[in-house]
Amino acid sequence: MLSEMDQLYRNVFASAEGRKVLGDMLTQGHFGVTLDGDNRDQIAEYNFALVIATRAGVFEQIYRQLGINKEREDG
C-alpha cells in the first residue's frame, strides 16, 4: 500500500509534463552515468534524484519483474 506522500509524487509525475520534469531531474542527478566516488555533491544529487524517482514509482515495474517486495517506512 502506498503512503499518501508516495501517491502525491505519482500523481505529480503521471502527466506528460511531469514525466519530462522527472526525466530532467534524473539527468541533472547523473542517473545512468558513471559517478565520481570522490565528488560528494554528485553523489548527493544522484541519491536525491533516486529518492524522487522511487517515490514517483519509476522502478515499480523493475521490482515486479525481479520479484522484489519493496516496502518502506515513511516518517
pLDDT, one tens digit per residue, over 42-56 is: 999 999 999 999 999
Is 73's pLDDT higher than 70? Answer: no
Query: What is residue 20's three-state secondary structure?
Result: helix
pLDDT (tens digit, 9 = 90+) per residue, 1-34? 789 999 999 999 999 999 999 999 999 999 999 9
Q: Under the phi-then-psi rule, with left for phi > 0, alpha for psi from -120 to 50, and beta for the rest, what region is 33?
A: beta
pLDDT for res 24:
97
Radius of gyration of the chain (CA): 13
pLDDT for res 47:
97
